[in-house]
Amino acid sequence: MVERARRAAFIYSTQLERYAYPPGFPLVVQRAKKAYDLLKSMGLLDAGSVVAPRSASREELENFHSRRYLAALQRAAKGEMTADASRMGLGTPDCPIFGDMYDVSVWACGATLTGAALILSGAAEIVFNPFGGFHHAKAEKAAGFCYLNDMVLGCMALSRGGKRVLYLDLDAHHGDGVQEAFYEKKEILAISLHESGETLFPGTGAVDEIGAGDGLGFNVNIPLPLGTYDEAYLAVFDRIVSPLIQWYAPDAIVLELGMDALAGDPLAHLCLTNNAYADVISRLLRFKRPILAAGGGGYDIEKTVRGWALAWRIFACESCDRADASLGMGGVMLQSGEWSGGLRDRKLSIPERQRISVGTALEATMAAVIANVFGRHGIDSPVDGSESAAASDSDP
């Protein structure tokens, strides 16, 4: 039996194993099954914490996506291309036409909405849906492997349920679909840490994209330079993200937990280890707010699975916030000889030149966020890179 101090739910069922992207496609949705299997084999997941998802209803999907887009998507999945399909982003190299594309998307949305319902009912305080995280999809356009946007729908469900929602995106790619959905609204504070759009798809997420109209100052982008590493990443979190969470005082946090910021991911150029993700999760948990997390990107399958397994371990076990999980089991359980030190990655050695270049770029970025967003809301920021007072004060 897993010792679990928090009411944590892992969204999964064998129903999800029926669907797949085309063979050879970078996005492998079977990552969710691999994470589930790894956690089960290591004794880190019990039956009481696994919750089966449902598929999203058409009515729920229409809370964000248009009827004509949903109709075109459904018809395309059956091989019936409409005149609008190309304009809607369907049939591109990033969003190919395949039989499962509608069903896989509907179930991903349903899984995230299942998690939102668990939080709203109080049945869970932490929910992780590794099958979700499709943050690029727009109301009427597919993009970046994403056909329907479960992250937008999850945020909307929590907001309609009376929650003040903070959306935090840790995927290496900017969550442009989420940004567009809430850009002129102040009901959702959206924060994204991502590789700069100057070097990575989708090319958006600049520091000066801070919202418009009622949403001015409620959209926060932190573009990261090539080679951003753990210590630099955590300094950004402590100086920018933690003070924003403290100021906004959300009732719930929606978290995009893409693992493509890990060093060596084939589709990005950052240099994190999963220790950075683990430390961010620990910091978030100290705010004692419900968290709805979804998988997102991650194209080195082994690293992604291990990172999600570590994330779940910390989500589920309060006493494990700062401890490694199953020391010595990682390499054995993943059948890899690269690293046998547990679920956590080994620490990377960062050359001085990289430290200087990354540090210089991030100082300029953080200064811009502080001027454009903090100044607008009257937020104080730690200047020494230490954890915010909010996180420290609520430390268990």
Cα→Cα distances 96→41, 61, 239, 344, Å: 34, 21, 40, 35
User: What pLDDT, on the 0 to 100 scale, is given for residue 265?
Assistant: 98
Q: What is the tens place of the pLDDT at every residue in 20-34? A: 999 999 999 999 999
Name every residue whose Cβ is closer than 8 Å to that of residue 88 and which is 6 or more positions away in sequence. Answer: 69, 72, 73, 140, 141, 142
Q: Which among 65, 136, 173, 174 is annotated as catalytic?
A: 136
Q: Which of 273, 249, 258 is nearest to 339 (CA)?
A: 273
How far, in Å, CA of 90 to CA of 364, rounded?
Answer: 38
> Average model confidence (pLDDT) for the chain?
91
Residue 393's pLDDT band (boundaries 50, 70, 90)? very low
- DSSP assignment letter at 141: B
Q: What pTM was computed for the model?
A: 0.92
CATH number of 8-393: 3.40.800.20
How far, in Å, CA of 158 to CA of 10, rounded?
Answer: 18
Cα→Cα distances 114→57, 65, 225, 264, Å: 12, 18, 35, 33
Instruction: Note if 136 is an active site residue.
Output: yes
User: What pLDDT, on the 0 to 100 scale, is given for residue 338?
Assistant: 42
Burial of 47 (0-12, 13-18, 19+ CB in 10 A): exposed
How far, in Å, CA of 227 to CA of 110, rounded?
Answer: 35
**Distance in Å from the first CA to the final CA of the chain:** 24
Q: What is the tens place of the pLDDT at every residue in 289-315? A: 999 999 999 999 999 999 999 999 999
CA-based R_g, the chain, Å: 20
**pLDDT beyond 60 at 117:** yes
**Domain residue spans of the chain:** 8-393
